Amino acid sequence: MYKVFFNNNSLFLANQLLQKQTFSVSYKYTNLKNLKEFIFTNCSEIENKEILIYHTSLSNLWNNFKSLFEVKNAGGGLVINANNEILFIKRRGLWDLPKGHQEKNEDIETTAIREVMEECGISNLKIIKPLINTYHTYWLNAKAILKPSHWYLMQYTNNEQGSPQTEEDITEIKWFAKNELEDVYLNTFPSIRDVVTDYYEDRDV
């Protein structure tokens, strides 16, 4: 199953009709033309809903869904220090995890490391393992963009103070312990909550 944030809605793409009471709309995929109309007309007219799109072949559904967008990959990191605190950045008034677009001929792990170092002004980062991918959409010059963000758990071993990359509208960087995350959750994106939740759920296994 894939979860995509579109127009403040959560779109769930699955290979079966899932029984979940919070789905406001369930749509069975039939063809690309109808899917395009459903996404850019029906889903654009509602906000803050959970919408299910399903088809027997999830891979076919996902590939057709992606064909409606220009795909721009991004890489980023959930960075932990020796105290198991997580490094957040504040961008345009919201807490975020450092990430950025993949450059040409750059593998996605290199993208993730580079973007964290650039946005936070730190070095000596080591990727521990991949985390979940998140997906969100936006418009750029009248083009519909799908941005898959590839997240990695990273270990930070230095003691640099770091500095926010102000040219990217980052005004603050800060370490948060698990019991300090309430302010973050109230002032962040749903996709970021998903990444942090996935990290802590995996640790509790």
Domain boundaries, the chain: 2-66, 70-204
- Look at strands 50-54 and 74-80 and give their pairing: unpaired
Q: Report how far apart, in Å, the C-alpha atoms of 111 and of each of 82, 101, 126, 187 are.
A: 23, 7, 13, 25
Residues 37-62 have a mean pLDDT of: 93
Residue 204 has pLDDT above 60, yes or no: no
pLDDT value at position 19? 67
Range with the poorest average pLDDT among 11-20, 70-79, 100-109, 119-128: 11-20
What are the pLDDT digits (tens) for 74-116?
999 999 999 999 999 999 999 999 999 999 999 999 999 999 9
Question: How far apart, in whole angstroms, are the C-alpha atoms of residue 74 and residue 108?
Answer: 7
What are the pLDDT digits (tens) for 156-191?
988 888 999 999 999 999 999 999 999 999 999 999
- Decide: 65 and 32 in contact? Cβ < 8 Å: no
Strand ranges in 43-82 using DSSP code E only, listed in sequence order: 50-54, 70-71, 74-80
Residues 129-140 have a mean pLDDT of: 96
Question: How far apart, in whole angstroms, are the C-alpha atoms of residue 137 and residue 82?
Answer: 35
Residue 205 has pLDDT above 70, yes or no: no
Work out the pLDDT band at 21, boundaries 50, 70, 90: low
pLDDT, averaged across the chain: 93
pTM of the model: 0.92
Tell me the CATH architecture of domain 70-204.
Alpha-Beta Complex (3.90)
Question: How far apart, in whole angstroms, are the C-alpha atoms of residue 84 and residue 151?
Answer: 17
pLDDT value at position 22? 75
